[in-house]
Amino acid sequence: MLGLGIETSCDETSIGIVEDGKKEISLKVYSQTELHSAYGGVVPEIASRAHLEKINDLLDISIKESGVDLSDIEYVAVTATPGLLGSLIVGAQMARCLSVALKIPLVAVDHLEAHLTVVRLEEKNPSFPYLGVLLSGGNSAIFQVEDFGKMKLLGDTQDDALGEAFDKVATLLGLDYPGGPEIEKLAMKYSLRNNEPLIFPELLKDLPSEKILFSYSGLKTAVLYYLKKNPDYRKELEKICSHFQERAFSLVEKNIKRAVSVTKIREVVVAGGVVANSTLKERLKKISTKLNFHLTVPERKILCTDNGAMVACLGYFLLKNGKTSAIDFKVSATRMEDFYEN
> Cβ 151 to ligand KG4, closest distance in Å?
17
- Which lies closer to ligand KG4 via its Cβ, residue 76 or residue 114? 114
- Which lies closer to ligand KG4 via its Cβ, residue 184 or residue 246? 184
> Cβ 117 to ligand KG4, closest distance in Å?
14
> Cβ 261 to ligand KG4, closest distance in Å?
26
> Cβ 278 to ligand KG4, closest distance in Å?
7
Quote the Cα angle for 175-178-180, to 5°.
85
- Which lies closer to ligand KG4 via its Cβ, residue 35 or residue 68? 35
> Cβ 170 to ligand KG4, closest distance in Å?
7
Interacting residue ranges for ligand KG4, rule: CB under 6 A: 10, 136-138, 163-164, 166-167, 178-181, 184, 272-274, 276-277, 305-306
> Cβ 210 to ligand KG4, closest distance in Å?
28
Between the alpha carbon of residue 153 and those of residues 85, 140, 150, the distances in Å are 22, 11, 10
> Cβ 276 to ligand KG4, closest distance in Å?
4
Between the alpha carbon of residue 27 and those of residues 6, 145, 269, 309, the distances in Å are 10, 26, 22, 6
Check residue 157 and report its DSSP letter: B
User: Is 106:303 a contact under the CB 8 Å cutoff?
Assistant: no
- Which lies closer to ligand KG4 via its Cβ, residue 156 or residue 306? 306
Give me the DSSP letters along 263-293: H---EEEEESGGGG-HHHHHHHHHHHHHHT-
Report which residue type is found at 9: S
- Which lies closer to ligand KG4 via its Cβ, residue 126 or residue 163? 163
* Burial bucket for residue 290 (CB in 10 Å: 0-12, 13-18, 19+): exposed
User: Is 123:22 a contact under the CB 8 Å cutoff?
Assistant: yes
Strand runs labelled E in the chain: 2-7, 12-19, 23-31, 75-81, 106-110, 130-135, 140-147, 150-156, 267-271, 294-296
Give me the DSSP letters along 131-147: EEEEESSS-EEEEEEEE
- Which lies closer to ligand KG4 via its Cβ, residue 16 or residue 138? 138
> Cβ 216 to ligand KG4, closest distance in Å?
11
Angle at which helix 44-66 crosses helix 85-102, to 10 degrees, equals 30
- Which lies closer to ligand KG4 via its Cβ, residue 11 or residue 24? 11
- Which lies closer to ligand KG4 via its Cβ, residue 84 or residue 94? 84
- DSSP-derived 3-state class of residue 259: helix
Q: Across the beta sheet with 2-7, what order do the strands follow? A: 23-31, 12-19, 2-7, 75-81, 106-110
